[in-house]
Amino acid sequence: MSQIKIRAALETALASIAPPIDTAYQGFGYTPVTGQPYQAVYLLPAEPNNWAMGDASRQESGIIQINLQYPTGQGQGSAPAGARAELIRALFHRGASFTKDGITVQIERTPEIGGGREDNGRWFLPVKVRWFCNL
């Protein structure tokens, strides 16, 4: 259940960014709309850290990766995707925390904005947010 709550806490926070854009979530079908930006969200959990033998406590950690996909050829270049990446970085700043059903997810580091590239008629810009949760 913890992975479900962690995902929900992070995805709810991401959905709060204004202005909203379409979002493709893992496990749900999504068809991009021509000429409209969207973001694809992936929860990438890491191996749990167990502090003590016989103790049920552990630390979950990982990355939530947001792949921004912005249409090209509208005379704006990579600026709209870069601006959205900065909004994501501001929300998920180092030390921020997000709670869902009693589970608090904390942001471990400043989010990484990767190198962008052309991808199938869109500007692709990945943003990686490293998180952890003590359970």
- DSSP tag of 83: H
Could you read off the pLDDT tens digit of each residue along the chain, which spans 135 residues? Answer: 689 999 999 999 999 999 999 999 998 999 999 999 999 999 999 998 887 777 778 899 999 999 999 998 766 678 999 999 999 999 999 999 999 999 999 999 999 999 999 988 899 999 999 999 998
Categorise residue 102: left if φ over 0, alpha if ψ from -120 to 50, beta otherwise: left
57 is a domain residue:
no
Domain that holds residue 3: 1-19+37-43+85-135
Residue 64 lies in a domain: no
Alpha carbon dihedral 56, 129, 65, 73, in 10-degree steps, equals 170
Residue pair 93/15 in contact by the 8 Å Cβ criterion: no
Is 90 a member of any domain?
yes
What token pair was written down for 79? 């600026």
pLDDT for res 1: 65
Asked if residue 19 has a cis previous peptide bond (ω within 30° of 0), the answer is: yes
**Domain-embedded: residue 27:** no
- Give residue 56's pLDDT: 75
- Taking residue 109's Cβ as centre, other Cβ atoms within 10 Å add up to 14
pTM of the model: 0.91
Q: How many domains does the chain have?
A: 1
pLDDT for res 120: 86
Residue 106 lies in a domain: yes
Residue 5 lies in a domain: yes
Residue 57 φ/ψ, nearest 5 degrees: -75, 150
Q: Does residue 30 form part of some domain? A: no
Residue 123 in any domain: the answer is yes
